[in-house]
Structures are given as structure tokens and as C-alpha cells.
Amino acid sequence: MRFSQIFGHTLKEAPSDAQAISHQYLIRGGYIHQVAAGLFSYLPLARRVLNKIEGILHEEMAAIGGQEVTMPVVLPADMWQESGRWYTIGSEMTKFHDRKDHDMVLAMTHEEALCNLASKYIRSHKELPQLVYHIQTKWRDDARPRAGLIRVREFKMKDSYSLDTSWEGLDKQYRAHYQSYFNIFNRCGLDVLAVKSDTGMMGGKIAHEFMYLTPIGEDTIIYCDNCGYHSNRQVADFKKPEAVKEDLKELEKVETPNSKTIEELADFLEIPESRTAKAVFMVATVQEDNETEVEKFIIAILRGDMNLNETKLANAVKAKDLRPAHEDEIKAAGAVPGYGSPVGIKGAIVVVDDLAAESTNLVGGANEDGYHLLNVNCGRDFKADLVIDITAAETGHRCIECGHVLEAEKAVEVGNIFKLGTRYSEAMNVTYQDKNGKVQPVIMGSYGIGVGRLLSCVVEQHHDDYGIKWPISIAPFEVEIVLLHDKKGTEAQDVAETLYEEFKAAGVEVLFDDRKESPGFKFNDADLVGIPLRLTVGRRALDKGGVEFKLRGSKDNEIVPVDKAVEKIKAEIERLHKEIRDSLQTVEYKD
């Protein structure tokens, strides 16, 4: 490909709203064009990268027995109604009517469509196990698209689905994906961790996320350097301190002016924050049946030195949505913001963290401005509707496995795997006849990788101050020829044109910068676009006996004879591919 013929062009500066490095370089390098919030066009350079990523996905899925299918982006609503997700997913699902007034959905994921397929083509245990996959467009009307391709509304995903007769079969396919995903990310040049995660809207029994650690991530990973424990903060466990247990003391109201926060309260009473009870007021949207959604006022109680994990709370109360309560909602329930507690409150769902429930004689709000209650005790002074772990793990807490101090780091989820079990097959009647002639639900797994997000994360990992540094495995081209035009003759152009044709004939993917621009302009663009190998053809190099060879990101260069240039580049390409192959290794599976 000649640079002069590429559709699109490079930019000196990124748009002001492009905060993530990957967003900046992909825009500036002529890879993507932003159409609207969370909507992007992929230009030819990006399309070549995506094709290579998708090629790796096809190869790794085939290696574990995957068969490719294609399912529609637009799906009839009755599938989603049958699974129940029509009623439980909020505004991020886009619903509409077709011209015949049928309810339709833009697919966020394809569990329902797969179940529709399987129910038609799976009859007997002899037809199982199966593994099918596709690489297809998805739509989620995200309220906060950000960071370029990291969080978008329309995206392409590889999702695969396993169908089994037994949990042992599901385990086998789940572990095969676990290893396959590490192979995929390693082949793309991305370092990831696998962490246990919340099953979220997907449902099911067990889930893992594959995380790329980066400050731009919205997820938080809790990890232990000592034993290797890793988990998404949403579901992370930790070893809680021992609850302080005393004989119950008499409830006493005390004046606590200007003490609306736990810190202010502890300072005023000269007590540790661990001796206080923190009340967090939330409103949960709960599905009471397949037609009715209602909002429930929630009071979550934790020990004052702990913070609420909203995912744990939402799972505990089976909430479709969860949000902080507004001040007027708190007052309407009989509580006072900054001085609230469940004492004396009726009509609220009270969820108490297990540590707070076990702790005695805590200081809690009096539901009166400027006052708190001493010696508040769960069970005596207020009733808990539910006692369960709702505390967020944080840096400094103790590891649930070994007791070592935990750390936290931001991350982006680039892949996920779910043990769905029979959650969808029972709802949508996906069954098979076993050896004894008995009808059984198919046991399912679901496995996804966001292709555009993966591309973006590779750029986040592989870049410098000048631009992208693509791994050879997914680079849009393997080598770039930079022609430095010579006003005194055509030798440099003749050599560059000859090398360009020789590379194409040898099957080497080559980008030829034939533009009539200054050397500095071309070198800056070469660094920005990020092709792994570069040959510079100019008068100075020819006078030294050849062309200048340079690796992207290296300060070193060397003169290669013109008649050895193709051989040199092919050897370098193979060396870089070998480095990636050698990086692949068997990964220990961890529940």
C-alpha cells in the first residue's frame, strides 16, 4: 500500500476530548474517526489491525473445537422476554418496533439467539458437546462512553457458547477458554490477569474477567502479592477484623454538632471510626414480576471504617438498578442526612454488613439534626432484613487466602467467561434427551472478547512519546519504506520502488511512504503510525552502501545492502513472531 493512496490522513494534534493515549494516537494516526459519542468508523489502517486480531480469534477458537456461526444484530423481543432479561435490563438496551409493530431489540449479547438456535438443532446427548462462536456487532446504549474505543456504544465482540450434558463437560470447556484467552492476549501482545468477577446481567454460577492493568481503567482489581489472590473489587473478599463484642449498654442520645461525616463524628467523640455505624441510603429498582418494577428504599449499615460495595448490595437485594437516595427521599423515610440510621425507621429494607451486625455498642445516627445515639446494637435497636457481606475490599485490608496486605489497581476488562449452567436453557427450553430417554436442560457457558477494546488496550501498552509501537502479530503492515526524495536524481526513488515490488512479491506486508513531504514529516508519521520495521531509502544511506534499517522504538539503525534488504526484513519478521510464540505458556487455572 502506498501512503499517498491511503484513505484518511494523520493529524498533528488530537481532539481536546481525547484523554486516553490510545484514543489520541488512533485518531492522530488515521486509524479511527469519531462519528458521535461512543460511535467510531474504522479506517483502513485500523481495519487491517482488526482483521489480524480476528484471525487470531478464529485460530484459537478452532484450536479448542469452535465452529463459526453468524447470528443477527437485530433480534425479536420474544427471545429476551422468554429469558427474562427483557424485564431486568435497563435503558442501555435499545428496544424498538418494526414496521409490523413487533417488539425488537438491538443485541447487547447473544445468549438468547444461541438458545433459539440450540433449541432447534440439539435433540440428543449424541449431538453434545458443542462449541459455536461468532464475531459480531453489539449495541449497548452506554450513558458514559469514554476513552475512545475503551468504552463505546457500538462494538464488535467475539462471543462463543459451549453446550454440554454435564457440569464436568462445562468445566472442561471453561478451562479450555481460560487457556485460549491467555493465548489470544499474548499473541496480540497484551499482558492480562484473570480475576474472579460478578456474573452481572449474564447470570450463571461462576465468572472470570481478563484484565489489563492501566490507570485509565474503570474496574478496580484487588490483589495479593504474597499468594497471588486476584479479584474484581465488585466481588473481592477479604479477611475482616474481629468484631468488638461487649455487654450491651443502654441506648443514649448525645449532641454531636457539625458531625455529619464519620470522620467528623469520630473526631468529636474521640473514638475510632470502627466504633461507629455508617448508614448509606440507596434506592433499588426491583422486579416484582415480569411486568412490574418498583423502587425500594434501602438502608445499608456498615462499620464506620468500611465502605459500601454497591455490587454486593445490589446482588443481595436482587436489584435491577441501584442508585444513591436523594435528600428528599431520605427525609421522606424519616431519616436525616448526616445523622441517619435505621433506628425508628419503618418501610425501608435494612441490609447490615456481617461485621457491623456482630459489633456491639456502636455510635449511630439519631435521625435528628445534630444528634447521634450511643450504644446502637443490631437486633435490639433495629431489625436487619438481611445480614450479609456488603463491604468493599480496599488497599490495606487483609487477604482472605493468606492474611497478607491487599493492594488495588485500576484495570480494563478485555474479556470474560461465564459458567451459565442452566440459567438460559431452562428458561428457553433448550433440552436434550439423555441416554435413558429423559429430557434434560443443556448446560451452557458463554465467553466474550471485545475486539475494538483489545485493539485500544494494545496501544495503551505499546506506545512511546512519539506514537504507537505495534506488535508484529497485529501490525497493519510489517515494514514501512520511507522514501527521502533526492532533488539531484531518481536513484533513491528507483530503489524504493524496486524494493516495494520485491516485498510484495515475497509476501511481505509493506507500506510505502511515497509522499512528497519533508524527511522530518515522514519520520514523525512513521513513529506515529507505528509499523514495527522501517527501511529509509535516501541519498545518504545509498552513499553508505545501502538502505537504513530501524526497529520502531529503537535508537539504533544499520545500513543494509539493497540486495539483502528483503532477506533482512523477512528474518526480522520471523524473529519477532518467534518472540511472541515463545511467550505462550500453559497457565494455571484458578477458581
Contact 24, 17 (CB under 8 A): no
CB contact set of 306 (below 8 Å; sequence gap of 6+):
278, 353, 355, 356, 391, 392
Tell me, what DSSP letter sits at residue 124? B
**How many Å from the N-terminal Cα to the C-terminal Cα in the chain?**
47
Q: For residue range 388-408, list pLDDT tens digits in order.
A: 999 999 999 999 999 999 999
Task: Place 221 in a pLDDT band, splitting at 50, 70 and 90.
Answer: very high
DSSP assignment letter at 518 = -
Asked whether 327 and 123 are in contact (CB, 8 A), the reply is no
DSSP string, 242-276: PPP--PPPPPEEEE-TT--SHHHHHHHHT--GGGB
Q: Which of 292, 390, 379, 393 is nearest to 88 (CA)?
A: 292
Q: Residues 61, 180: contact at Cβ < 8 Å?
A: yes
CA atoms within 13 A on the CB side of 348: 31
The answer to whether the beta carbons of residues 257 and 370 sit under 8 Å apart is yes
For residues 542-564, give the mean pLDDT. Answer: 95
Higher confidence at residue 320 or residue 430? 430
Over residues 315-326, the pLDDT tens digits come to 899 887 899 999
Span 49-107, pLDDT tens digits:
999 999 999 999 999 999 999 999 999 999 999 998 888 888 889 999 999 999 999 99
How far, in Å, CA of 573 to CA of 582, rounded? 14
Pairing mode of beta strands 349-352, 386-387: parallel
Domain 477-582 has CATH 1.20.120.140: no
User: Between 3.50.30.30, 3.30.160.60, 3.30.930.10, 3.30.360.10, what CATH number should domain 3-236+408-460 receive?
Assistant: 3.30.930.10
CB 445 within 8 A of CB 174: yes
In whole angstroms, give the CA distance from residue 341 to residue 170: 46
> What's the chain's average pLDDT?
94
Domain at 252-387: CATH code: 3.90.960.10
The domain spans of the chain are 3-236+408-460, 252-387, 477-582
Whole-angstrom distance, CA of residue 20 vs CA of residue 14: 10
Read off the pLDDT of residues 92-145 as tens digits, 9 standing for 90 and up: 899 999 999 999 999 999 999 999 999 999 999 999 999 999 999 999 999 889
